Amino acid sequence: MKVGELTDLIKTRLEQDFPFVQVEGEISNYRPSSTGHVYFSLKDEKALISAVLFRSQASRLNFRPADGQLVQVTGRISVYPPRGGYQIVCQSMTPVGEGNLLQILEERKQRLAAEGLFEESRKKPLPLFPERVALVTSPTGAAVRDILQVMERRGAGSDITLFPCPVQGEGAAEKIARQIARVNEYALADVIICGRGGGSLEDLLPFSEECVVRAIADSEIPVISGVGHEIDFSLADFAADYRAPTPSAAAEVVSAQESDIRERIALHRHLMINEIEQRLEKIRLIIQPFTKEELERSFYTYLEPLMMKLDDEKEKLTRAVKERLDEQSHALALAKKDLEASSPLAVLERGFARVSDEEGNTVFNTENLEPGATVTLRFYEGKADAEIKEIKK
């Protein structure tokens, strides 16, 4: 048996026997690659095993793994023949102790989504040049400083009002929701930025509480959620009208610079020109059959079969008329022949003559004739008078 054959047997056996594993261990030798995949090892006091988290799964992590961190992974055992080693191909990774919390948040997310709180149709457009911006965040956190610095640097010119509230710990969610409702009650802003800087899943938990999600969903004023870092998430992100990856990014959204506006105008101009050109092209395709040349071609395409059919019918009619005329001519000739045959002139033509008395009556016999009487002889051509000299019986 060759090495490859043995390795294939081991690979088949391991992957069939361990299609799903759930392992808890400490991360070591954590190595993110340029392709987005993550390679690391899991160890405890007794053993060490290699693991890989491919890019599609790594992008879903809501925390930043690091060496020495205790985590729980789920996945399957796989063998990589070129190195002859086995490893865990991870499908998910959670810090130990956070698994139940993530399950709770997922169930809450599904329930609120079923109520329609995350529907795109509910989301309101953000004002381009808001005059008043409300910050619902901690007055002592890094988020408020970052937001103020960004808006000052970009020269937003907006009036910024801080609505202070704790952003973590017991009772923080209720106070966040109360401040959002307060801004709406007195119409104190054109847009609300609600958020905080990064932290652990427990630190960000108030922004996933149901009261905060409902306050954002019920807000008549557009809400921008800027919670944590880009990889962090909260249920407030789904309910907000706009989700910014960081508080600083939220500040950039509400403080559009002249260059941003110019770029936006140029983009919309480009999109509008493309849309017009596409519509014109569609119109050209629609009206193409109605050009003079196309109409003429279509007319002749329709007319030519009719003209050919007309010619065929004309020939048929001509033939029928000629045949009928020939029949009638033949019949007329026969009638003429019969008529001529029965005509007195035809008899006279054969040398006979018609005899009539002085009154013009036809003489059929000699009974009414006497010697000396005058009779008229009608020949085929011409007449002659004769005198009866003698009557013979």
pTM higher than 0.75: no
- The total number of residues shown for the chain amounts to 393
CATH number 3.40.50.261 is the correct assignment for the domain at 102-256: yes
Per-residue pLDDT of the chain (393 residues; tens, 9 = 90+): 888 888 888 888 888 888 889 998 888 888 998 888 999 999 888 899 999 999 888 888 877 888 778 888 999 999 888 888 899 999 998 887 655 567 778 889 999 999 999 999 999 999 888 999 999 999 998 899 999 999 888 876 789 999 999 999 889 999 999 999 999 999 999 999 999 998 877 788 899 999 999 999 999 999 999 998 877 789 999 999 999 999 999 998 888 665 677 788 888 999 999 999 999 988 888 877 777 777 777 777 777 788 888 888 888 999 999 999 999 999 898 888 887 777 776 667 677 777 787 777 877 777 777 787 887 878 778 888 787 887 876
Measured CA distances, 147 to 27, 143, 190, 251 (Å): 35, 6, 16, 5
8 A C-beta contact, residue 206 and residue 212: yes
CATH number of 3-96: 2.40.50.140
User: Domain coordinates of the chain in residue numbers?
Assistant: 3-96, 102-256, 259-288, 346-387
E-state strands within 81-141: 85-95, 132-137
* pLDDT at residue number 312: 85
Residue 335 to residue 238: CA distance in whole angstroms: 108
Query: Which residues are CB-neighbours of 203 under 8 A, at least 6 positions away?
Result: 168
Tokens, residue 71? 């985590």
